[in-house]
Structure 1
């Protein structure tokens, strides 16, 4: 149904040139102060897009986001204590 998406953090040196990063994927956030951008792209074309991004002169470093691999379903092993602190 939905394509597998992968997130990348792209560190750049020129914020004006970094506006063109949306050609390679969906640009989610761009910090001009810290000079990085968060972008998402389809997993099947991600390797080729990263290779093309690394060739750009203003890109310093590219890191893959591990958000897909983090467990987001939590178990409740501790009893709820809020009922003891009621009014």
Structure 2
């Protein structure tokens, strides 16, 4: 079955210790230039994992993904009205 997961952005002081984040979830991406990592963990465990990650000495801050809060269902397609567009206005 599909386990619901959520992303956590972790800003780092140093990328040297990124491998320690593997015990909290799946490390999806690490940017050495901008010093951040994207970590995925189970959605049920997020509230417990974030304080543990923030307690690490090499972590500056963490931010939970806002994707689950965003509405992805939209009402039908929106078609533009042709009378509002004047393509031949300058001719």
Structure 1 and Structure 2 fold alike (TM over 0.5): yes
1:47 partnered with 2:39? no
- Tell me the matched-pair count: 81
Q: Compute the TM-score of the two structures, normalised by the length of structure 2.
A: 0.76
Distance 1:78 1:7 in 2: 34
Q: Compute the TM-score of the two structures, normalised by the length of structure 1.
A: 0.79
Extract structure 1 runs of 4+ deviating beyond 4 A: none
CA RMSD of aligned residues (A): 1.9
Q: Deviations 1:51-76 (Å, cap 9, x if unpaired)?
A: 11111000000001112222334431
> How much has 1:46 moved relative to structure 2?
1.5
**Where does residue 85 of structure 1 map in the other structure?**
none
Mark the runs of 5 or more structure 1 residues left unpaired by the alignment. 82-87
Distance 2:34 2:72 in 1: 28
Structure 1 window deviating more from structure 2 (55-64 vs 18-27): it is: 18-27
Mark the runs of 5 or more structure 2 residues left unpaired by the alignment. 83-91
Based on CA coordinates, which of the two structures has the bigger radius of gyration?
2
Distance 2:49 2:4 in 1: 15
